[in-house]
Amino acid sequence: MTAWHGKRVLITGAGGFIGSHLVEALVTSGAAVRALVHYNSRNDWANLETVPRDVLDQVDVVAGDIQDPFGVRRVVSGRDTVFHLAALIGIPYSYVAPATYVGANLTGTLNVLEAARDAAVERIVHTSTSETYGTARYTPIDENHPLQGQSPYSASKIGADKLAESYFLSFGLPLTTLRPFNTYGPRQSLRAVIPTIISQVLAGAEHVRLGSLAPRRDFTFVSDTVGAFMAVGTHDGTIGRTLNAGSGAAIHIGGLAEKVLEIMGSDATVLADPERIRPEASEVDELLCDASALRQETGWEPTVGLSEGLRITVDWFRQRVAMTKPHIYNV
């Protein structure tokens, strides 16, 4: 029996990449899971559609909108633990539609915090992002590193993090903020760099087109990120804290692309596409995680190395190549 057995859990953003994996892990651990997915008229549950049927049949799936305070109150009601993952996350699209990021990421977070406060939940885990740090002033980046909004997306997440902090300090809401670095793995959308590389190779591209190849990123396999969420959700010493989750190793995007090409047996060349390059002052040059605080508090450690994780991810996309649109730049 695990610490999650019988726990009544809500996951917002459950149809997302990380959210769907968290749903699966919590059900497997014995939790009673309610999953909030973004409403659409097609009744499409996004990534939950790929969760094994025997797992999904145990989930209470609710379609709604994180920006609707009444709907959020209903799904939070009766839950012991809330994992708040719902957010707009694509950086390029935040240049195009910044107001939508304020609505989803700030107003949505406010709705979850208020509902959790009113429902007197035992624990809420709020999801941040390493993008809130901006370009590293020192590495590895610990939780004391300054925050800098280098895109509308990261600015909206900084605001959401500060709202979460204020609800802990003002109202004693039992809250932890988890700040994952770059998560990757099966089910990730093509707006992320690794699926972008894989899908272009699978489509037979001679040239793999990416944004800037120079930035360095710290990549963590999705099962390890899910493990970090579950760890902070069961350790009281994490309450009131913001904790990083990352592998502690970084790689240049160009080097990452070459690694994926090698795994896939491709001789394609990698090009920096001007359309995909961020505005110069908005590009985050380096993200390298110091997760020692999380490790010391919970014992969490990443277990899947980059090469192994990339092979798993490539294999997953190979089976689903028809689902992708590699010829389209996904902002």
User: pLDDT at position 89, please?
Assistant: 94
The domain locations on the chain are 8-183+222-248+287-298, 193-215+250-286+305-323
**Distance between CA 137 and CA 133 in Å, rounded?**
9
In 3D space, the residue among 275, 277, 154, 267 whose CA is nearest the CA of residue 213 turns out to be: 277
User: pLDDT at position 214, please?
Assistant: 84
User: pLDDT at position 325, please?
Assistant: 59
Task: Kindly give the pairing relationship between strand 216-217 and strand 251-252.
Answer: antiparallel
- Which regions in the chain score pLDDT beneath 70? 278, 321-331
Residue 113, phi then psi, degrees to nearest 5: -65, -45
Which residue is it, tokens 């920006």?
67
CATH entry, 193-215+250-286+305-323, from 3.40.50.1000, 3.90.25.10, 3.30.1490.20, 3.10.129.10? 3.90.25.10
User: pLDDT at position 34, please?
Assistant: 98
Q: Which residues of 115-149 are buried (b: 16+ CB within 10 A; e: fewer)?
A: bbbebebebbbbbbbbbbbbebeeebbebebeeeb
CATH architecture of 8-183+222-248+287-298: 3-Layer(aba) Sandwich (3.40)
